[in-house]
Amino acid sequence: MSLYIGREASKLWKRFCAEITAEIKLLAENWKYLLGGLLCQYIHGLAARGVHYFHRPGPVLQDVGFFLLHELGQDKAYISETVFTFIFLSFFLWTFHPFILKSKKIYTVLIWCRVLAFLVASQFLRIITFYSTQLPGPNYHCREGSKLATLPRPDSILEFLVINFPRGVLYGCGDLIFSSHMIFSLVFVRTYQKYGTRRLIKQFAWLCVVAQSFLIVASRKHYTVDVVVAWYTVNLVIFFVDKKLPELADRSGSATFLLPLTKDNIKTKDENHKLLNGNSRDLVGPEV
């Protein structure tokens, strides 16, 4: 029994080391894209903080979701955040599964390059929309009478550049159309829909996103329009951006590649498949 466990542990360690080697090579070639994507996340955070300075509390706008959905109340606002955290952490851990699981379809570095591209494009549109028109926030801390509804002018540029986490993220106002939580959730679920392998998990993931949509409105964190616009905008962004990006290498086949496929290496890929499968007459010689 101990011999079997030791043998499996040795295989797992070799698999982990091999994956580290492959990912480091990819990271060396794609670090600029990852760094640029992370920098854009910071810029998006600064933009959301900046619009908070312009936010002015006012009467909550009429909203069909507010009439149809029971208000959860301020003490139950954590429910929607819990669902979002579950979606975020589940996807984050899934992107690192190639390091430990034998069956794998993606490379971690390449999948995050793709995810960040979707996030950046969606967040760029989001920044334009919430700076175009500032709506009175429906969240409890954004309403009239709350001290957090407006931000005092910063004393220095450093105070503006430093994002207070998690307070600055959870208690923002003014960045409404469209929902940032829905951007992340839809990008994650759409990515798993394409590259994931478990059908049941895909169905459960979509169910979680739908539930989160209702919970966001029921918690009065966003208007219904913020969620609706996110649903069609993010899906359209992913559809068009995905067409412009090179397709990821499929690791589930017999021939694997460390880099995304391009027009230059499609022919090489086909030849390798024929060689490995032994179904090319040119490679095995003419029939007698």
The active-site residue out of 44, 52, 55, 222 is 222
Whether residue 181 lies in the annotated active site: yes
215: in domain: yes
Cα-trace Rg, the chain: 24
**Counting beta carbons within 10 angstroms of the beta carbon of residue 93, is it exposed (0 to 12), middle (13 to 18) or buried (19 or more)?**
exposed
Give SS3 for 168.
helix
What pTM was computed for the model?
0.82
Give SS3 for 87.
helix
266: in domain: no
281: in domain: no
13: in domain: yes
286: in domain: no
List the pLDDT tens digit at each of the 288 positions of the chain.
565 556 666 777 787 888 898 899 999 999 999 999 999 999 999 999 999 999 999 899 999 999 999 999 888 888 999 999 999 999 999 999 888 887 778 899 999 999 999 999 999 999 999 999 989 999 999 998 898 888 888 888 887 787 776 666 678 899 999 999 999 999 999 999 999 989 999 999 999 999 999 999 999 999 999 999 999 999 999 999 999 988 887 676 534 444 444 444 444 445 444 433 344 333 334 333
The active-site residue out of 52, 181, 273, 282 is 181
264: in domain: no
Q: Could you list the residue range(s) of the whole structural domain that residue 128 is in?
A: 1-250
CA dihedral sign of residues 86, 88, 89, 92:
positive
261: in domain: no
How far is the CA of 110 from the CAs of 24, 26, 202, 271, in angstroms? 11, 8, 21, 24
> Which one, of 235, 238, 259, 239, lies nearest residue 247 by Cα?
259
Q: Count the helices and strands in the chain (H runs, E runs).
A: 11, 0
273: in domain: no
> Which one, of 129, 172, 132, lies nearest residue 149 by Cα?
172
Amino acid letter at 166?
P
Q: What integer pLDDT is reported at residue 166 of this predicted model?
A: 62
Q: How far is CA 188 from the centre of its chain?
A: 4
Number of structural domains the chain divides into: 1
The active-site residue out of 141, 155, 226, 264 is 226
Give SS3 for 274.
helix
In angstroms, the CA 247 to CA 268 distance is 15
